[in-house]
A = this chain, B = another copy of it.
Amino acid sequence: MSIYAHNGYMTALPTLDPTTAQDCCEPTGRPALDAEQAKQKALVFKALADPNRLRLLSMVKAESSGESCVCDLTEPLGLGQPTVSHHLKILVDAGLLHREKRGTWAYYSLVPGALDDVAGILAKL
């Protein structure tokens, strides 16, 4: 045993067969997302996980001018303005909507590419 312990063979790293080395890098049950990545990515789905917020995004997207005044978003939902503003803030915080205050009103537009980025999260899960 002392012979093996001192001749270096026992501590030599095994030679990796190229095929085996390749296989060990294939996804095989290993989570592609760690806990922190998953926590970050879940945030945008939380923002989307509400019917009124989906309708707000839909309305802003459908606006031919590219932006919607908060004053035009309240009535179609049948909700009070504080509630609509609360939902809009969640969409802004999630990086889906851009908000610009001009005079009395705030105007909302889609952040370019944001919905595509969410689709990208799904593609790369």
A-side residues, CB < 8 A to B, are 26-35, 38-39, 41-42, 45-46, 48-55, 57-59, 61-65, 68, 72-73, 76, 115-116, 118-119, 122-123, 125
Query: Copy number of this protein in the oligomer?
Result: 2
List of B residues within 8 angstroms of A31 by Cβ: 55, 58-59, 62, 76
Complex partner residue of A63 from B29, B51, B53, CB under 8 angstroms:
B29
Contact A38 B26 (CB under 8 A): no
Contact B115 A29 (CB under 8 A): no
Residue among A34, A38, A57 with the most chain B CB within 10 A? A38
Question: In the complex, what distance in Å separates the CA atom of A28 from the CA atom of B68?
Answer: 9
What residue in chain B is nearest A53 (Cβ atoms)?
A: B42
Chain B min CB distance to A2 (Å): 38
Decide: A54 near B27, CB < 8 A? Known: A118-B122, A119-B119, A123-B115. Answer: no
Complex partner residue of A39 from B51, B58, B76, B123, CB under 8 angstroms:
B51
Decide: A42 near B54, CB < 8 A? Known: A48-B49, A49-B49, A61-B125. Answer: yes
Contact B61 A32 (CB under 8 A): yes
